[in-house]
Structure 1
Amino acid sequence: MNRVTSAALLALTLALASCSSNTPQDASIPMPDQNNTVSAAPIYGNSESGQYIVVFRKTATVQGQSISKLSAGQMVQRLGLDRQGAQIQAVYTEVLDGFAAKLSASNIQKLASDPRVAYLQAVQTYYATDTQSNPPSWGLDRIDQRDLPLSNSFTYSSNGTGVTAYVLDTGLNTTHTSFGGRASIGYDVINDGQNGRDCQGHGTHVAGTIGSSSYGVAKNVKLVGVRVLGCDGTGSNQGIIQAINWVAQNAQKPAVVNMSLGPRSRSVDQAMDDAINSAIGKGITFVLAAGNSNDDACYYSPARTPAAITVASSTRTDARSSFSNYGSCVDIFAPGSDIASTWIGSNTATNTISGTSMASPHTAGAAALVLSANPTFTPQQVRDALVNTATLNKITDPKGTPNRLLFVGQGTTPPPTTDPCSGTNCSKYTGSLSSGQSAYQPNGTYFNYAGGTLKGWLKGPAGSDFDLVLYKWNGSAWQAVSRAETSSSDESITYNAGSGYYTWEIVAYSGSGSYSFWMQK
């Protein structure tokens, strides 16, 4: 994936040569991914304690295997790091190739200048996304009917049998009677002696909405707690990525993952986004809370991940919840205000809380219904089934969010698959590549963008490994600003872009065939 074909190089060189003085115009400018133009790896965020996630490029191998397959000591040696300033805390081999470590300033700079390193991501804190309240629950009642008023019933034609839901959260109260013996502990990254037990309540509440007998959408789904948030409801991206790595290695498919968590202020976490995209590429559906900051979800990881299903919150009167994030990175609304569900403290405890954390598990439960009826569905097909059967134009004050409300009342037979975007701001391009080749879109050239959220979706041939890279002209050269390089043929990127010139590169890392690419700006 580090070589550009002569045809693609010529096409973009000609395009550069035809531009005015304030555009890229020097025909001798090196192209992206040429060996002599590798720039410093970007450092996303700042960690005062020196804790970073280091992600390798695909080509960073030793004797045919990723550097991350080496022992911690061997990695430090191979990377030429000062041992005293490199305390490796976690290693990722499944959804990312890399490691998390506490690093000295000199080691950070050494890694940033190493061509084997794709980027460094600062370790940061994530939070459970809920707020406390007391009114009765109503969410199940709403999602099986098109219109208000509520009918005081929940009718369902499937119950999630055969599907496993992984709840990345504060753990589970597995003995709760509403789980009926279907809840278990899978993994715990907190290491505080709780061993997956929920000591905060949030995870048990979320799991109850997904699949408890009383409050759940999918009443016979298997529930697996993956504890990534502690008793205070917080955790780090370092640990969450460890958990995603574990799920990707151990998931019993068909499977859906719910992540009702996120940062409290605007924060783009490339490592988190990449880990989720990689797991989705392995056939696991991810459902994400949009966030509770009353802000554009495109500025928040992991909510901005386009290959996942991102969920905003609605009220019992079909309004956007006042706290809910919104915007084009959201796929669907679901009930999230004043939701009753299972809780901790006893095996019959309940609680009523609000948040996009409550909206997301309604949708994860609905995804389990789809997978129960269609166990071979891809994550994209699950998303299409939910989005295309949603009730349209019911939510007031959507603030630019696609106005779709979760609906499960017509069973789980999906409509035809649709394109990932539509409308005047969506463009589709097609092409064909052989292994090792690459091409640029749109149409072999670049485009001028005033700024905003840029999105790209790539669908390559089955069984291949096609990658997607977004470049920006920095005044003297093209610089890669975002990469989607999982092991699958389908990739996606969301990038909060400043004004300037951009181009997309589609790379056939392995395999050959036709591809489709969609750009939304």
Structure 2
Amino acid sequence: MGNSHRYRRAAIGITVAAVAVATAAPALAAQPEGQIRAAGGADAVSDSYIVVLKNAGFAAQAQNLASKFGANVGRTFGAALNGFSIHASETEAKRLAADPAVDYVVQNRRFHISDTQQNPPSWGLDRVDQHDLPLDSKYTYATKADNVTAYVIDTGVKATHKTFGGRVSGGKDFIDNDDDPTDEQGHGTHVAGTIGGTEYGLAKGVKIVPVRVLDANGSGTTEQVVAGIDWVAANAKGASVANMSLGGGADDALDSAVKGAIAKGVTFGVAAGNESQDASKVSPARVKEAITVAASDKTDKQASFSNFGATVDIYAPGVGITSSWGIGGDDATNTISGTSMATPHVVGAAALYLSAHPDATPAQVAEALTGSATSGKITNPSSGTPNKLLYVGS
């Protein structure tokens, strides 16, 4: 009996010691977490993120990097942006953001075309080839810019519309992930018509390449828009311009992609936005390397809806602009308003400049357009907004 008690006491002692050792052992360290930029918000796409890497070449290892944290890779980017998209939980995304190879992680979100409204017939071409009012019912141009390519990053383009005369070709659809970027909304065809349509375009001979990143409702995600920009950066050759008549909340990944494409030599015109606020609050309007365009009306007033501020580079006609339309027959038109309509005037002007100066850099194109703009004509510019109205005359 005595020995039995001693054995039990010994066993109890061993058990207590084991518990003491287990209690004293340090707990497993929690995995470090980083921050997700622009997390949440009404336009956020749940469990979807853009990962931007610090060093080039790592995108090829995207799956290995993402799988460490349980995330799944969607698209990879390597031309305009160095990174990839993922489907992951918020925790997985935060842990990935803390990885030494990662620069930052951005919440995927939706972007939209600018709001539009019905208005009187177009007058924009007539305005930009003269310094002063009244309009003279003429549009004079020295070149058709047939040696320039215009990438329309939008809802797609109706290639069969007669205003293009067969000059729409190629392109990519990042909504349906195929090679048929046909316009299902109308907006992209309107934009393309102002850039290079026979009737309503500034650069009447430009080659048009549609890049569909917005759906039939006029919206697309950061992932889809960045994929379109990345494709342009990888495929653009020679004198090239790009139009982005879309916008949304401030987005670092989108901005970085635009900057990357501009660094590849593509001149970008971007809409200032239609929220009647400072354009520095929205993307891609806040990208300094792009040409950010505010809207003016037929009386040279700043449009009531137009964004403004020091981020803006130039004004262009954006109220009551008639152009080709992507829904309906091959001769369909629509008259609408927005900085979406102002921007293609500037992109068309950029194509005209590049036609005569095909080796000009995006910075040189921007300097040429802002330098030749008519100064002091906008009668009610918001404080801090450069008072420069697009001019393409000689």
- What TM-score, normalized to structure 2? 0.88
Name the residue aligned to 1:368. Answer: 351
1:357 lines up with 2:345 in the alignment: no
* Count of matched residue positions in the alignment of Structure 1 and Structure 2: 357
Q: Larger deviation: 350-359 or 100-109? A: 100-109
Percent identity reads 50
d(CA) in 1 for partners of 2:63, 2:305? 46
8 Å Cα contact 2:273-2:339 kept in structure 1:
yes
d(CA) in 1 for partners of 2:372, 2:35? 40
Name the residue aligned to 1:336. Answer: 318
8 Å Cα contact 1:51-1:101 kept in structure 2:
yes
Residue type matched to 2:66 in 1?
V
d(CA) in 1 for partners of 2:266, 2:90? 37
Secondary structure at 1:69 match in 2: helix
Q: Larger deviation: 323-332 or 39-48? A: 39-48
Name the residue aligned to 1:90. Answer: 75
Alpha-carbon distance change, 158 to 193 in structure 1, aligned in 2, over 3 angstroms: closer
Encode CA deviations 1:92-140: one digit per residue, 9 max, x unaligned: 1111111111112331221122122111111111111141213110000
1:204 lines up with 2:197 in the alignment: no
Secondary structure at 1:196 match in 2: coil
Encode CA deviations 1:178-200: one digit per residue, 9 max, x unaligned: 10110124010001779211111
Secondary structure at 2:39 match in 1: coil
1:245 lines up with 2:230 in the alignment: yes
Name the residue aligned to 2:69. Answer: 81
Name the residue aligned to 1:67. Answer: 58
Matches within 5 A, 1:276-425: 276-344=258-326, 345-399=328-382, 400-410=384-394
1:106 lines up with 2:91 in the alignment: yes
d(CA) in 2 for partners of 1:280, 1:253? 13
Unmatched tracts of structure 2, length 5 or more: 1-31
Higher helix residue share: 2
1:52 lines up with 2:49 in the alignment: yes
1:157 lines up with 2:147 in the alignment: no
Residue type matched to 2:322 in 1?
A
- Root-mean-square deviation (CA), in Å? 1.5
Q: Larger deviation: 244-253 or 107-116? A: 107-116
d(CA) in 1 for partners of 2:178, 2:237? 26
Q: CA deviation at 1:41?
A: 4.9
Encode CA deviations 1:41-67: one digit per residue, 9 max, x unaligned: 542111472211010112xxxxxx622
8 Å Cα contact 1:171-1:185 kept in structure 2:
no
8 Å Cα contact 1:130-1:356 kept in structure 2:
no
Name the residue aligned to 2:254. Answer: 272
d(CA) in 2 for partners of 1:201, 1:41? 41
Q: CA deviation at 1:349?
A: 0.7
Higher strand residue share: 1
Residue type matched to 1:297 in 2?
A
Residue type matched to 2:306 in 1?
S
Secondary structure at 1:307 match in 2: coil
Encode CA deviations 1:436-485: one digit per residue, 9 max, x unaligned: xxxxxxxxxxxxxxxxxxxxxxxxxxxxxxxxxxxxxxxxxxxxxxxxxx
8 Å Cα contact 2:50-2:83 kept in structure 1:
yes
Encode CA deviations 1:230-271: one digit per residue, 9 max, x unaligned: 0000111110100111111111321000000001xxx21000
8 Å Cα contact 1:294-1:326 kept in structure 2:
yes
Residue type matched to 1:356 in 2?
T
Secondary structure at 2:152 match in 1: strand
Q: CA deviation at 1:75?
A: 3.2
Name the residue aligned to 1:460. Answer: none
Encode CA deviations 1:69-92: one digit per residue, 9 max, x unaligned: 13x533334xx222xxx1221111
Secondary structure at 1:239 match in 2: helix
- What TM-score, normalized to structure 1? 0.67
Secondary structure at 1:311 match in 2: strand
8 Å Cα contact 1:170-1:203 kept in structure 2:
yes
1:215 lines up with 2:200 in the alignment: yes
Partner of residue 118 from structure 1, selected from 85, 103, 112: 103
Secondary structure at 1:305 match in 2: coil
Name the residue aligned to 1:134. Answer: 119
d(CA) in 2 for partners of 1:106, 1:339? 47
8 Å Cα contact 2:66-2:72 kept in structure 1:
no
Unmatched tracts of structure 1, length 5 or more: 1-38, 59-64, 411-521
Encode CA deviations 1:21-60: one digit per residue, 9 max, x unaligned: xxxxxxxxxxxxxxxxxx97542111472211010112xx
Name the residue aligned to 2:4. Answer: none
8 Å Cα contact 1:54-1:98 kept in structure 2:
yes
Encode CA deviations 1:146-188: one digit per residue, 9 max, x unaligned: 0000000101112112000000000011011110110124010
**Larger gyration radius, structure 1 or structure 2:** 2
Name the residue aligned to 2:9. Answer: none
d(CA) in 2 for partners of 1:236, 1:90? 12
Name the residue aligned to 1:43. Answer: 36
d(CA) in 1 for partners of 2:177, 2:336? 26
Secondary structure at 1:133 match in 2: coil
Alpha-carbon distance change, 257 to 75 in structure 1, aligned in 2, over 3 angstroms: same
Residue type matched to 1:247 in 2?
V
d(CA) in 1 for partners of 2:355, 2:34? 42
* Structure of greater relative contact order (alpha carbons < 8 Å, 6+ residues apart): 2
d(CA) in 2 for partners of 1:130, 1:368? 26
Secondary structure at 1:407 match in 2: coil
